[in-house]
């Protein structure tokens, strides 16, 4: 009898978790965001630059080596 009750409790808990997950996944799409077309952005660093690619503004930082014989390295961080 105890195993049957535990299975029912587990099913209810899984259903609640699934409901919370689905609702939590949908809610961010229902929150309106303000129009970003006229957004003025102060660059946070002196070497900051902005580029727009297919309607998406990307912020990046660019350092130029001080000597000519240094090869460049690229580091991409997504987050």
Enumerate the domain spans of the chain. 2-61
Query: What is the pLDDT at residue 36?
Result: 61
DSSP string, 11-40: HHHHHHHHHHHHHHHHHHHHS-----TT--
Q: What does the pLDDT read at residue 2?
A: 80
- pLDDT for the residue 78: 72
What is this structure's pTM? 0.42
Mapping DSSP to helix (H, G, I), strand (E, B) and coil, where does residue 3 land? helix
With beta carbons less than 8 A apart as the criterion, state whether 61 and 47 touch. yes
Give CA–CA dist 52/2, Å, rounded.
Answer: 61
Q: Per-residue confidence of the chain (79 residues) as pLDDT tens digits?
A: 688 899 999 999 999 999 999 999 999 899 887 766 666 667 888 888 888 888 888 888 887 777 777 776 777 777 6
């Amino acid at each position: 009898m105890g195993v049957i009750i535990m299975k029912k409790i587990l099913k209810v808990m899984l259903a609640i978790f699934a409901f919370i997950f689905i609702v939590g996944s949908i809610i961010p799409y229902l929150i309106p965001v303000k129009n970003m077309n006229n957004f003025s952005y102060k660059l946070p660093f002196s070497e900051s630059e902005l580029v727009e690619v297919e309607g998406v503004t990307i912020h990046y930082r660019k350092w130029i080596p001080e000597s000519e014989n240094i090869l460049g390295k690229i580091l991409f961080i997504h987050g």
